[in-house]
Amino acid sequence: MLRKREVRAIYGQGIEAVETTIRQLYEMVEVEDERVHQLVASATVARLQKIEQLTGRINRLEAELASKVRQVHQLNLTVKELNQELKEARQQTRQAREAHLATVMKNSQNSSQPPSTDPHKKRTRS
């Protein structure tokens, strides 16, 4: 930035000095303007590259997430199936245990079997 004293000195040298100074200033502005445009262009390119990189990463993460969602859904279905199988197995075990107890508990007093077929009957001596 030119100070008042410097402007007066240039003005004192005449119109040609003023014209030369203005041209020099204009050229400096053009050079700075070009430098700013290059910096903006460079930053823009860097930002666009970063955006492309992040977009690719987002796409990969979305694909991974979709895959994980499908896996979770499949695992949930498997858990439901296994819970149903477990419920059925418990019911079958309970029925088998009850049938076994009913068979073990039968004796000549509560069935049509003869007393000689009673299991674990304690014999008394007479």
CB 94 within 8 A of CB 109: no
Say if residues 107 and 100 touch (Cβ distance below 8 Å): no
pLDDT interval class at 6 (50, 70, 90) = very high
Mean pLDDT within 92-117: 80
* Least confident stretch, 43-52, 61-70, 94-103, 115-124: 115-124
First to last CA, the chain: 135
Tell me: pLDDT of 110 over 60: yes
Query: Which residue reads 């079958």 in tokens?
Result: 92
The pTM score is 0.53
DSSP string, the chain: ---HHHHHHHHHT-HHHHHHHHHHHHHHHHHHHHHHHHHHHHHHHHHHHHHHHHHHHHHHHHHHHHHHHHHHHHHHHHHHHHHHHHHHHHHHHHHHHHHHHHHHH--TTTSSS-GGG-TTPPP---
Angstrom distance (rounded) from CA 5 to CA 89: 103
